[in-house]
Structure 1
Amino acid sequence: MRNTVKSYIEKNNWECEVYPSPFAVFLNKDEKIYVEPDISVICDKDKLNDRGCVGAPDFVIEVVSKSSRKMDYTTKNALYSDAGVREYWIVDPEKERTTIYYYEQDEAPMIILFTQTIQSGIYEGLEINISELLK
């Protein structure tokens, strides 16, 4: 998935960086609270330093595991929303679905089955079909 997002950004010549975990994201300027998203996309390079990202990434993808379920669906969801992440995807292999939060649009989350194609809300033309990636 990281490579799909990275290829899309490079193809469109965007000045964004794609980071896989482990990569520290300090959601507050005080640099005390941090998370390690599975995939982070940061387009404001001023947010990057030698410790990671300070401030909200534009786009975050988390892949749920049994040990991360509560953290991804509740804790990180609230943190990302409050911090200003623009778009958040929770990829859930156990349920074979992805929950999409388009925070900028202030809408209810969308649930997309792995067999369906997901369209990014902030990156026009970025489409991902999870079942195709898993083949």
Structure 2
Amino acid sequence: MALLQEKIYTIEDIYSLPEGQRAELIDGQIYMMAPPNARHQDIIFSLSRKIADYIDENKGTCKIYLAPYAVFLNADDKNYVEPDISVICDKSKLDDKGCHGSPDWIVEVVSPSTQRMDYSVKLFKYRTAGVREYWIVNPVTKTVQTYSFDGEEDSSQLSFIDEIPVHIFNGLTIRICDLLQ
């Protein structure tokens, strides 16, 4: 008896979705995305502004992109993600379509519908794709799970009141609670 084969989707399927429908593609599987709420957007905006200020003050060359922004993690047509925040320091990865390769730092803000994806599927995918740092910001528990994959790997769970060090930028620490006042 033959087993049913599940369909493998491609980036072409993502671009064929109805206008306004957002989804991500990981290893050929489509994951639909719900619109973010106001708290989610406040966190993304405030955090990206803090990162951008640090880059500007230090005359850095990294670029910051907010979702929806296409990230093609692998050199294939089966992986397409839209991280909440992507920090890309290698400008050769950028073109008009998005980022081709792994961003240096990705931040995802958890929502009830994305929790499993952010803490497991994306964690594995980002790590194996070469992302140097990954943060998962959880507004419900007011925690930030940080992962550094650059050199000696490190992981920490911190609260919104903690000074959270950014591993890819020397001297940058972020207190989420300070950003949300």
TM range (shorter): over 0.9
Pick from 42, 54, 62: which aligns with 2:100? 54
Please state whether the residue corresponding to 1:132 is helix, strand or coil.
Answer: helix
Determine if the alignment matches structure 1 residue 79 to structure 2 residue 125: yes
- Aligned residue for 1:65, secondary structure, equals coil
1:108 Cα deviation after fit: 4.4
Partner amino acid for 1:57? P
2: distance between equivalents of 1:60 and 1:106?
Answer: 18
Which protein is bigger by CA-based radius of gyration? Answer: 2
Q: How many residues align?
A: 135
Q: List per-residue Cα deviations over 1:16-57 (Å, max 9, x = no partner).
A: 100011001000012431110000000111101111000000
Match of 1:114 among 152, 160, 171: 160
Q: Which one of 106, 126, 129 corresponds to residue 172 of structure 2?
A: 126
Distance apart, 1:105 and its partner CA: 3.6
The percent identity for this pair of structures is 47
Aligned residue in 1 for 2:48? 2
1:31–1:54 Cα contact (<8 Å) kept: no
TM-align CA RMSD: 1.0
Segments ≥4 residues shifted beyond 6 Å: none
TM-score (norm 2): 0.72
Measured against aligned partners, the alpha-carbon deviations of 1:114-133 in whole angstroms (never above 9, x if no partner) come to 11110111101111101111
1:46 alignment partner, SS class: helix
**Structure 1: gaps of 5 or more residues:** none
